[in-house]
């Protein structure tokens, strides 16, 4: 399976390229456009594609992320909770 394209830079390298802090918001935006979301719960971050719960390693594989890069994404989510801001209009419709 080919990973999702979300970077403008070349992805074919012998080593995994560092996931820069400024790239993470672009990745999160691309994930949201694809229907992927992540929510902080008492047991950690839970990943979804639409309404289906998905394992973190599956998300990493689909988006072409190493485990270290995925850890950086998780840390960003803990610090910023970006999916709540992206989907806040949908939450208002539910209320």
CA-CA distance, 36 to 15, in Å (whole number)?
26
Q: List the domain range (segments joined by +) for residue 77.
A: 21-94
Single pTM value for the model:
0.76
Q: In this structure, is residue 42 part of a structural domain?
A: yes
Q: Tell me which residue has tokens 């939450």.
A: 91
Question: What is the rounded (10 degree) CA torsion for 16, 37, 35, 91?
Answer: -160
Q: Is residue 2 a part of any domain in this protein?
A: no
Q: How many domains does the chain have?
A: 1
In a domain, 14, yes or no: no
Assigned domain for 39 exists? yes
Does a structural domain hold residue 16? no
User: Is 41 contained in some domain?
Assistant: yes
13 in any annotated domain: no
Instruction: Give 32-70 pLDDT, tens digit per residue.
Output: 999 999 999 999 999 999 899 999 999 999 998 999 999
Specify if 9 maps to a domain: no
Task: State pLDDT tens for residues 74-93.
Answer: 999 999 998 887 766 554 44
């Amino acid at each position: 399976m080919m990973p999702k394209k979300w970077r403008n830079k070349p992805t074919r390298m012998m080593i995994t390229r560092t996931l820069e802090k400024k790239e993470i918001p672009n990745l999160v935006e691309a994930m949201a456009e694809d229907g992927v979301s992540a929510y902080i719960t008492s047991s950690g971050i839970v990943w979804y594609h639409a309404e289906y719960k998905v394992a973190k390693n599956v998300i990493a594989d689909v988006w072409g992320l190493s485990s270290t890069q995925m850890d950086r994404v998780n840390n960003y989510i803990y610090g910023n909770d970006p999916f709540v801001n992206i989907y806040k209009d949908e939450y208002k419709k539910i209320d």
